[in-house]
A and B are shown apart, each in its own frame.
Chain A
């Protein structure tokens, strides 16, 4: 790459702590990146599965990273026999320091943040050798096949059936939905029901499912905003060899817990590993956008508008301060892990309140405008701001109430009720 602008950026490093070995690694990475990695563009998304070009480019980056001996994105600490470099964390830190002006293959987030820890934690030697390597060498993008049309919050209630037939293979039938980037993925972690006659958590098994086979239909879902980042899959006798079962038969819930924990851990650490988040000010800085809108509409002296702007400044500040408080408490041990649901809940609550007020400040300009396309975005946020993904608002509230505040669980069917005796969308209608 000639005149790579990213190579000109002076990066703050911890070079003074380098050993000779680390130093050599750093210099090799620095030299290689200059000629091989595209610069990081300030407004480019970390990942966007509606942008096929971005996904394809990330595949190329991951392949190059691996081929050049850097172990692929997030592979530096992974053992050599599984395709990584087997080096300690310091090497990864150094690599990410050097990579900070460049684009890294963040489309692999589900693969590296979720699939990889699940396979490393629960997989057989063969699975680790095969599938971890194929993540790191760029062959496989991964999806999570969890939610189903019958429900998402009640994850252990999945209906997709897996049966082992005489040939030893498993045959999967059912439908999965809300799969991030499913239309680009090669493999998926699929939670399926293997025994409906035992209680619901006990009859589940996790499978490593190949997307590229005849029984697998992947349909992108068009969302209210118009884009398609998520898919629905129909599994029609999808074949999974027994060698691709992850964990014990009927032990799928255990794997799913690792999966969900990995997701939370990834979110907490920053999903796009190596992407530096913008430096945040240690002080409360009111968002200038609100005042600009009012000025443009000539309402900056209207007392009702001013009251709303003041309230918005409060929402932004408090939402941010809650996150800082809970994170500090989690680090110091003052809060248990369950408290982590509080900032997540409250940022959704404030998002919803915020869109309401911003829309009110804009008035009719929020829903149609002669000179500006983006004006619609304000009104549109009233249509699209909801908390569904990653656990609905109601699920978050249950988490805070039951796990953090210790309130008694809602009374449901006896915990040992066999799955096929639970009432469901189907059976309730029959009854």
Chain B
């Protein structure tokens, strides 16, 4: 994705691509869909062994964070996952792992990180509810002090992978600020209800909290003071999602270029008509923009750059809107075949359309950019 990958990163990219081509090509998603399975646990564990999650975990907790490139490296993995419309819980588990590694106590890290890094524990992040700022602003769940711990109430929506998760990262907001908790997903009072999702490789849920008890040791960081940690988690997730979206789009653009070169109409390849060429030239430019914005965002987040918050929203808006537009038009160029269930392009388009709205719609990020720019 980045035009300046170093040697280690190029290796990581090659290794991930080869692994996925072998173990989880786009056809794997089709099989899972036909069999009504969520994702392949074996592939997930093998991926974890390659370090997908361990990138965020310090060595003392069974990870490789010290020698890895953090979110920049994870973005390389995410892009490859996008190319095959991977269905495993990558972004959600990365979010929970990153949050615990960032804000967890020594006990919390020791308790959770080794299992997450090994691919044995799965996580899901309950951040927000429905409404225009869904995926960005906390506020759907409240936490009030109760006994030694807290009581959680509310309802989070669009929660990825909640039913498969062992751990829930809960971001609660109220007048006192932001507090975060890590609780088992089978805690009493937690109910998980599947949403009907258009992305066939992504499972979304409404997670309800009805007087859920969170013990004091479930609190991540300090009560009411998690605003900065939350921002950093959000940036990490956005950087990963944008990278994934780039992979989805890049792969679609590749096979569409092959198609317009191979497909003949009126005696010549359809790619020789300006009617298609000009659209593809623009798409190429916007795709380069998506790659530029996504890789810039990943680097800014990793380096804690002063513009990291702006960079992820810029990337999210551009990648989100343009990927949908590019892939939608690529489907158009495929003609009738593109509308069939058997063709893969709808799997890509579903992921792009879904990514455009998850973790903040473009409109929500435009609002966020105004706030960040002091407007």
Contact = CB atoms under 8 A, between A and B. Distances in A.
Interface of A: 283-286, 288, 290-291, 294, 300, 303, 306-311, 313-314, 317-319, 321-322, 324-326, 328-329, 332, 334, 342, 345-346, 349, 394, 396-402, 404-411
Contacts of B285: 322, 342, 345-346, 349, 400
Contact of B260 (A286, A313, A407): A407
Contact of B3 (A328, A349, A397): A328
A326 B351 CA distance: 27
Contacts of A410: 272-274, 277
7 contacts: A284-B296, A303-B367, A314-B314, A314-B366, A325-B291, A328-B4, A408-B272
A401 B278 contact: yes
B187 interface: no
A402 B269 CA distance: 13
A325 B370 contact: no
Interface string B283-299: 01110110111011000
Given A309-B370, A309-B375, A322-B289, A284 B314 contact: yes
B281 A405 contact: yes
A306 B292 contact: no
Contact of A321 (B260, B278, B296, B372): B296
Contacts of A308: 366
B369 interface: yes
B284 A400 contact: yes
A406 B253 CA distance: 13
Interface in B216-265: 257, 260-261
Given A313-B310, A322-B288, A411-B272, A307 B366 contact: yes
Contacts of A407: 257, 260-261, 269, 271-272, 277, 280
Interface string B172-196: 0000000000000000000000000
Given A314-B317, A314-B318, A285 B307 contact: yes
Contacts of A409: 272
Nearest to B286: A346
Contacts of A290: 375
Nearest to A408: B272
Contact of A398 (B281, B306, B362): B281
B122 to A, nearest CB: 33
B368 interface: yes
B268 interface: yes
A318 B318 contact: yes
Contacts of A310: 313, 317, 363, 365-370
A307 B284 contact: no
The DSSP consensus for interface residues of chain A is helix
Contacts of A345: 281-282, 285
B375 A408 contact: no
A307 B363 contact: yes
B374 interface: yes
Contacts of A283: 305-307
Nearest to B273: A410
Contact of A306 (B282, B288, B362, B375): B375
Contact of A326 (B273, B288, B366): B288
Interface string B1-39: 001100000000000000000000000000000000000
A306 B370 contact: yes
A397 B281 contact: yes
B373 interface: yes
Interface in B70-117: none
Given A321-B292, A342-B284, A397-B274, 4 more contacts: A306-B370, A310-B370, A314-B366, A319-B289
Q: Which 7 A-B pairs have the closest CB atoms?
A: A310-B366, A291-B375, A401-B277, A321-B292, A286-B373, A325-B292, A397-B281
Contacts of B291: 325
B311 interface: yes
A291 B3 contact: no
Contacts of A411: 268, 272
A85 B119 CA distance: 69
B274 A321 contact: no
A313 B315 CA distance: 11
A408 B284 contact: no
B281 A401 contact: yes
A325 B2 CA distance: 8
Nearest to B253: A405
A408 B372 CA distance: 45
B156 to A, nearest CB: 24
Contacts of B365: 310
Contacts of B273: 410
A356 to B, nearest CB: 15
B292 A322 contact: yes
A400 B363 CA distance: 30
A294 B293 CA distance: 26
Given A283-B305, A283-B306, A317-B293, A408 B282 contact: no
Nearest to A334: B3
A171 to B, nearest CB: 38
A342 B285 CA distance: 6
B369 A401 contact: no
B317 A311 contact: yes
Contacts of A300: 375
A284 B257 CA distance: 32
Given A325-B3, A407-B260, A307 B375 contact: no
A405 B375 CA distance: 40
Nearest to A314: B317
B293 A318 contact: yes
Contacts of A318: 289, 292-293, 314, 318
Nearest to A345: B285
A411 B268 CA distance: 8
Contacts of A394: 274, 278
Given A310-B368, A397-B277, A407-B280, A321 B289 contact: yes
A282 B320 CA distance: 24
Contacts of B257: 405-407
Nearest to A292: B375
A149 B23 CA distance: 61
B375 A342 contact: no
A397 B370 contact: no
